Amino acid sequence: MKKVFLTLAIAGFGFIANAQPPAGDAKTGEWYGDKVNPEGALNINDVVAKLNGGSEFPEVKVTAKIIEVCPKKGCWLKLELNDGQTATVKMKDYGFFLPVSAKGKTVVIDGEVKIKTTSVAELKHYAEDAKKTKEEIDAITKPEKAVSVLAKGIVIVE
């Protein structure tokens, strides 16, 4: 019985430890996921304008400012766009996370950028992760079209 309890306790602590965002200050030059060379990165607003014009970007490097980081694990980001909207970033294969301290930093992201429809369930999940109130979460009733980024790697540039 002691072995079972000990095994469950260790597994529980391991799960809790893995559910935290990475520690650190997200300093200039630090990278997450695949290593990214910031040279040749396009401004995310220019890429979004081209997406709205019908272009596709299955592989592109974009530069943008992070305005929100998932407070639970650092598993998603929100990027600032010129029109007051945001772009949502997910990490490819859930393979890496960013520290919460990355909020406010300018980054270069290597990945895929597209416009996608986000389901109500996914929007509510993001709201829960962001610790929104129950009323704010319940107010989400329809899917949204938004800019989505699937990141292979991210480097802090400012």
30: CATH: 2.40.50
Tell me the three state secondary structure of residue 103: coil
pLDDT: is 148 or 14 the higher one?
A: 148
Residue 39 in any domain: the answer is yes
- Please report which confidence band the pLDDT of residue 17 belongs to, taking 50, 70 and 90 as the band edges: very low
Residue 11 in any domain: the answer is no
pTM of the model: 0.76
Give the mean model confidence (pLDDT) for residues 6-11.
Answer: 51
What is the tally of structural domains in the chain?
1
Residue 5 in any domain: the answer is no
Structural domain harbouring 49: 23-156
Residue 32 in any domain: the answer is yes
Give the mean model confidence (pLDDT) for residues 9-18.
Answer: 49
Q: What is the pLDDT of residues 65-76, one digit of tens each?
A: 999 999 989 999
Confidence at residue 113, expressed as pLDDT on a 0 to 100 scale = 95
Confidence at residue 19, expressed as pLDDT on a 0 to 100 scale = 52
Q: What is the pLDDT of residues 78-101, one digit of tens each?
A: 999 998 889 999 999 999 999 999
Q: What is the rounded distance in angstroms from the CA atom of residue 71 to the CA atom of residue 84? A: 22
Distances (CA, A) of 89 to 4, 11, 14: 40, 30, 26
